[in-house]
Amino acid sequence: MTLTQPLPLRDTEARIGGIPAGEALPEWDLRDLYARPDDPKLLGDLDAAEASARAFEGSYSGKLASLSGDALEAALREYERIEEVLGRVMSYAQLLFSGDAQNADNGRFYQTMQERVTVIGSHLLFFTLELNRLDDTLLEGRIASSAALARWRPWLRDLRVFRPHQLSDEAEKLLHEKEVTGRSAWNRLFDETIAHMRVSVAREGKAEELTVSAALNLLSNPHRATREAAAAGISKAFGENVRLFSLITNTLAKDKEIIDGWRNYPRPGTSRNRANMVEDEVVDALVSAVVESFPRLSHRYYAMKAKWLGLDRMKHWDRNAPLPGDVDRSIPWSDAREQVLAAYHAFSPDLAALGRDFFEKPWIDAALRPGKASGAFAHPTVPSAHPYLLVNYHGKARDVMTLAHELGHGVHQRLAAKQGYLMSGTPLTLAETASVFGEMLTFRAMLNAETDPARRRLMLASKVEDMLNTVVRQIAFYRFETLLHDERRQGELSSDRIAEIWMQVQRESLGPAFDFTPDYGVYWSYIPHFIHTPFYVYAYAFGDCLVNALYGVYQDGQVPNFEAKYLDLLRAGGTLRHKELLAPFGLDASDPRFWKRGLDVIAGFIDELEAAPGRADG
């Protein structure tokens, strides 16, 4: 079954609390999906989808091999139609829950919808399993005989990637139906625990009780004492819950090991790579390239930053500290909107027009409130509706970058929607392309508009930190997951052992400029990627390096009609693989030099900063 999912929450811990006084931030209106949880239309859609799913099973189960090409195409269209109805329901439930996970009614509704949709989906499950059992020659013959069916070739191609890992129909149905009491239930427990947690932060003689998101925001506060107090509060809060988070992590890792074993995946990350339509070897090349570059990237930059901060060695709460002289000016929401849209418009008026709809219609939730999901994401929902964006806007420059990032996802999803529900979704590795490109467009526009040399250096340093967070930090996360899952195969890991693995990858990735205190060992436990989308995190580094290379081609002006080719890349959705998408730009992600080219962009920014030592403070 193919349910549309939001892109994983972006790690946006580096924030400062507060928004411009008196400014109202937008909140989304989900009525384009459904009016309310008990909307008769929602209940009617579910009933109709169940009836259609049962009829679909009765009409086609066990009969696909005998269908003509045109008849098989008709079955595919009906399958997509039913799936899109279920996708609309689950999109609404997910967004409602993300908007306020503290609301018990939202949690119950989300779970109830998952259970109902899972039951309906059990009647559709046979379809993809039976398609994959069709002989290659027979399927090719059906495609050759039907121009309509040929349109579905990309979806059928991607489906058959999982053919070697497919289980019996009975086993697949069992796994499908148990999902709501398995991984999904553990995900919900994690989300609700985080949403209800409060972090006590002692400031100016008083203890404030903050949400996890608000406490993490303080790690970029200009005052070191405030950052240290926030770090202590976060460590204490997560330390008190670490047994629960360790249980969730161990259980999900074992669950994955069992399923991977049944499906004959050679290693824990392979199933994610298959879903991303990228070869294990390409991911290995990316990871190796980044790890080898730790000294020339993060180690070198953070050594410079320690000197700028006047420290011999930094603590973990100094990693996202503002640089001396960096007065992160408060940026009103209206200014952020226009800055992002102007940057998009300078590249492509068509792209900007698609983006403006998000601001003129209630498609963005930027307000700050308890219970709301931290970080940011873009949810594509379904092609018959439109995407929704969730951000937590604190009025800072990095929030503008996050807005540009998520808007990139949004316009990408709108352009790809023309491919239909089953083929509009892109692999996660390519899903970051438009978001990171939009972020780069916005950064370059803001940098070019800044005339003060000192301010430009500070902006450049901030961009380097964001890129290190996207590339180095995410590859460190990936190594943490790999080491954890590998070791979990030998038995359950204690919270102390998980902390040791976490500290190991942090030391190797961030370098000798840091003196990590033991309480940092619990910080792995707040990161949702490990729970919701195991082994996803390398996709951020993949996307960043890919866009660095792509943006370099754009700047060089060597590719004619770059804008049109770029929009075609976005419109392709999931119909093309990374080699096909990058070929018009002369790029190839399977070439080891590709990753070096992307990493060289970050190194070049650091070179620029290093050329004026001691000048980051203006």
* Range 344-348, long-range pairs (CB < 8 A, 24+ positions): 344/404, 344/407, 344/411, 344/438, 344/441, 344/442, 346/441, 346/445, 347/441, 347/563, 348/563, 348/566, 348/567
Residue 469 forms part of a structural domain:
yes
What domain count does the chain have? 2
Confidence at 22, pLDDT banded by 50, 70, 90: low
Other Cβ atoms less than 10 A from the Cβ of 506: the count is 21
**Residues 247-278: pLDDT tens digits?**
999 999 999 999 999 999 999 999 999 988 88
Q: Are residues 446 and 519 in the same domain?
A: yes
Do 406 and 377 meet the contact criterion of CB atoms below 8 Å apart?
A: yes
Residue 571 forms part of a structural domain:
no
CATH number at residue 527: 1.10.1370.20
**Residues 270-286: pLDDT tens digits?**
999 998 888 899 899 99
Given 187, 206, 227, the domain boundary residue is 187
- Report pLDDT for 12: 46
Q: Are residues 473 and 607 in the same domain?
A: yes
Confidence at 205, pLDDT banded by 50, 70, 90: confident
Q: Are residues 173 and 257 in the same domain?
A: no
Q: Which domain holds residue 476?
A: 241-310+442-549+591-618
Position 94 pLDDT exceeds 80:
yes
Q: Are residues 143 and 257 in the same domain?
A: no
Residue 18 forms part of a structural domain:
no
Q: Are residues 246 and 176 in the same domain?
A: no
- Report pLDDT for 469: 93
**Residues 188-199: pLDDT tens digits?**
999 999 989 999
Q: Are residues 47 and 142 in the same domain?
A: yes
Q: Are residues 158 and 265 in the same domain?
A: no
**Residues 454-499: pLDDT tens digits?**
888 898 999 999 999 999 999 999 999 999 999 999 999 999 999 9
Residue 424 forms part of a structural domain:
no
- Report pLDDT for 450: 87
Q: Are residues 41 and 165 in the same domain?
A: yes
* Range 305-310, long-range pairs (CB < 8 A, 24+ positions): 305/461, 305/513, 305/616, 306/513, 307/613, 307/614, 308/614, 308/616, 308/617
Given 187, 211, 228, the domain boundary residue is 187
* Range 551-558, long-range pairs (CB < 8 A, 24+ positions): 551/437, 551/440, 551/601, 552/597, 552/601, 553/585, 553/586, 553/587, 558/586
**Helix, strand, or coil (residue 208):** strand
- Report pLDDT for 4: 53
Q: Are residues 63 and 134 in the same domain?
A: yes
Q: Are residues 612 and 512 in the same domain?
A: yes
Mean pLDDT of 130-140: 95
Residue 159 forms part of a structural domain:
yes
Q: Are residues 157 and 296 in the same domain?
A: no
Residue 138 forms part of a structural domain:
yes
What lies within 8 Å, CB to CB, of 561 at 6+ separation is: none
